[in-house]
Amino acid sequence: MSKYFIPLLSALMLTTHVFAEESKEMQTEQIAEAPDMSKVSESFGHLISKNLATLSVDFDMELVVKGIRDSLEGKEAPLNENQVVAAITQVQEIEFQKKSNDNLAKAEEFMTKNALRPEVVEVEPGRLQYRVEKAGEGEVVQEGNSPKIMYKGTFLDGETFGESKEGEVISLNETIQGFQKGIAGMKVGEKRTLFIHPELGYGNQGYLPPNSLLTFEIEVLEANVAQPEFNPEEALSQLDEAQEAVE
């Protein structure tokens, strides 16, 4: 679970890195006049705020500012660096679990109610559903195919997390189960809306909010796009050519 959490020190180091890189660029240029430090100071505060926001922790900003001032005055912090990072990680883990449980409950409730709609087809009860938006007449997508599709993915609240701008080829064997089972059987030209329970989606894995119910609008453009076979000799030849080019 630790991969979901960003330590405070990493966030602050990122801010320092940004300023360091800008300073390197400034060294190669002649500065006509000193920058307005009032604007620099305020802008630096915005950078810190953006980094703090990535931690998803409800900080008391007045105390954060107090901590900065006390540190500049040489006063001792209530917690040392290891303690504060450990505390933040613990808070993040608690919030992560709360979010996970809340999203799972919402997903369960939605799937139960959605199953009662006459236009909704259940592939797996309470786990995978779809609604046909437009019938297709072409070739049928089979399990294990690599169809070319257009898609739009949204969360339960309607927020879009992914969308194709043009047709994309996907290997069903390499996607989440909800995608594999929800697209199989579609015909070229067909449009479906898939409703995927977290168990057939990403669950608590990946970088989406934990246990998110996923909705995908899918249009099949081609049922199966042939993928080039892996040729080890050709791959080695290309690698040799790349190494020669570098040398």
Q: Tell me: the pLDDT tens digits for 88-98?
A: 999 989 999 99
pLDDT tens column, 11-27 = 444 444 544 555 555 55
Residue 15 sits at φ, ψ, to 5 deg, of: -60, -45
Rounded Cα gap, residues 78 and 71, in angstroms: 11
pLDDT band of residue 39 (cuts 50, 70, 90) is: confident
> Which residue has 């602050």 as its token pair?
12
What six digits make up the tokens of 115? 């199953």
| CA distances (Å), origin 108, targets 65, 178, 194 | 42, 15, 15
- The strand ranges marked E within the chain are 120-124, 128-134, 148-154, 160-163, 168-169, 191-196, 214-222
pLDDT band of residue 194 (cuts 50, 70, 90) is: very high
Instruction: Kindly list the structural domains of the chain, giving each domain's residue range(s) and its CATH number in brackets, ordered by start.
Output: 2-78 (no CATH), 119-222 (3.10.50.40)
Q: How many CB atoms lie within 10 A of CB 117?
A: 10
pLDDT of residue 3: 43
pTM across the whole model: 0.71
